[in-house]
Amino acid sequence: MAKRTIKSIGLVVKRNQPEALAIAQKLAQHIRSKRIVALAEPEIAARIEAVAVSREELAERADFVVVLGGDGTLLGVARLTAARATPILGVNLGGLGFLTQVAVEEAQQAIDRVLKGDYEVDHRITLEVIVQRATNDLRRMDRFIAVNDVALNRGPLGRMLELEVRANDQPFCTYRADGLIISTPTGSTAYALSAGGPIVFPTLGVVVLAPICPHTLSNRPIVLPDSTELEVRVNVSDHDATLTVDGQESSMVGAEDLIRIKRGAHGVSLVRSEHGYFEVWRNKLRWG
């Protein structure tokens, strides 16, 4: 990849994890030795001698971001940096993580590769989610960006949902199920996998629809082109559903609220591990 001018590196550290903090201290020292500014959130910055900024400001200022934590930590950062196409390097601290693929002992070397321009980036699609409320008041529209998935789950009463789905303005399917997951290829190894969805090669341009415990056995997971624009309505009027984005943001959805889902305008740029996808899958999923 062409060398990118890097003047500042953001370090995002999983909170309440001493190991992550110790690694961040070493990486911050290494970054400073390269005459590059290290940025971190205030509670971390004071302990690793970095410049203190909010996470939002870090996403705006950093030319490159290193995440020390799990996939959840990386997802939160990825949604903030997508519009700027900031390269993100995920360092795995020992969890299952499919996004944080670089081992701790490889982190410093990986940073040096990025500084030299000797690296490749995976461009992962996102989903843009718009919830248009039944009042039709445009001021009551909620917007989200999903890197992994959008999930609709049954509400507090635990009753089955009836979800009417249209694809490219055509009737597609009415799901009677505990819920529905709309996933990117990146999210195919997350919640959708637990619902019986397929594992999808991360850079393919597709979306996965995976029903959760469907009432009808023919309602199987399906893969659609990422050019497909989806509309989802909750048909049952006496209880709400919960819409969750990447397992981190949520909103209640009622009858006749309209959920629009399409490919996001901006993708996420992940620094590619030196280990190939097949090796990662084989190791993470213990395929032998």
Q: Which are the catalytic amino acids?
A: 71
Inter-residue contact 175 to 162 (CB < 8 Å): yes
Q: Phi and psi dihedrals of 282, rounded to 5?
A: -60, -45
The Cα 224–Cα 87 span in angstroms is 27
55-60 — which CB contacts under 8 Å span 24+ positions?
55/12, 55/80, 56/80, 58/10, 58/12, 59/10, 59/84, 59/86, 60/84
Which residues 6+ apart lie within 8 Å of 26 measured at CB? Answer: 108
Q: What Cα–Cα distance (Å) separates residue 55 from each residue in 149, 164, 176?
A: 22, 37, 39
Which residues 6+ apart lie within 8 Å of 52 measured at CB? Answer: 40, 41, 42, 45, 46
Q: Which two tokens stand for residue 269?
A: 């740029």
Neighbours of 60 (CB within 10 A): 15
Full DSSP string of 38-95: EEE-HHHHHHHT-EE--HHHHHHH-SEEEEEE-HHHHHHHHHHHGGGT--EEEEE-SS
Q: Which two tokens stand for residue 142?
A: 């909620």
